[in-house]
Amino acid sequence: MACFIHKTTKFLEQLAAKNILVYQAMSLYYKKLIREEIALADIKSTDRILCIGGGPCPFSGILLHEYTGAHVTIVDNDYCCVCIARQLISKLGYTESIEVLYGDGNDISPKDYTVIHMAVQVNPIQQVFCSLKRKCPYGARILVRVPKKGLKKFYSADDFSLFRNCCKKAVHNWRNIDSTALFIVA
């Protein structure tokens, strides 16, 4: 059951990465969400953003860069997705501002980043979150997307209660994402 949304999202993002009309239509879903997350974490052009889980069409990373001008590094553990995402980033002309890396979120060093953005599909999300939080520099901001209660079974995490103790959160009323939780590393 958990892989249903992951597979559907991946399929749709592959279409979007190859077709500009599909890309533009699908990006509408993310635009308000990203603006709310930028406000929540007070992201500026001077921030360095690490996105964990980008998929073949990393809308969040692209929009974070477009709306803030910040440098973005996107990490995904699916090599096929990384290749498609790199082609898209090149096609959009963002190769100087957005980097796409193949890797596992548990193995990435977040020390050079001021903002970490975690997709809801990251697996295992609790383990990756704890690993990143432990290695982040003081003051780093971590954004974690949390699914609506009724949809949690469609994601890999058994328990999202770890994300209740956040500093602040942005609630998203009309999406599959319930909220984005903000953590500030102290």
- The predicted model gives 33-50 an average pLDDT of 98
User: Kind of pairing, strands 177-184 and 141-147?
Assistant: antiparallel
Q: pLDDT at residue 170 above 80?
A: yes
98, two tokens: 């957005």
Q: pLDDT at residue 174 above 90?
A: no
The topology (CATH level 3) of 2-184 is: Rossmann fold (3.40.50)
H/E element, 17: helix 2-18
Q: How far is CA 136 from CA 13, 112, 116, 139, in A?
A: 29, 8, 9, 8
- The predicted model gives 149-153 an average pLDDT of 57
pLDDT one-digit tens code per residue, 121-148 = 888 888 999 999 999 999 999 999 987 6
Q: pLDDT at residue 71 above 90?
A: yes
- The residue with greater pLDDT, 153 or 46, is 46
pLDDT one-digit tens code per residue, 83-125 = 999 999 999 999 999 999 999 999 999 999 999 999 988 888 8
User: What pLDDT score does 153 carry?
Assistant: 54
- The residue with greater pLDDT, 48 or 8, is 48
User: What pLDDT score does 148 carry?
Assistant: 67
Band (156; pLDDT cuts 50, 70, 90): low
User: What pLDDT score does 98 carry?
Assistant: 99
| Alpha-carbon gap, residue 173 to 179, rounded angstroms | 8
Q: How far is CA 150 from CA 1, 9, 67, 147, 156, in A?
A: 13, 18, 31, 8, 14
Percent of the chain with pLDDT over 90: 64
User: What pLDDT score does 123 carry?
Assistant: 83
Mean pLDDT of the chain, nearest integer: 89
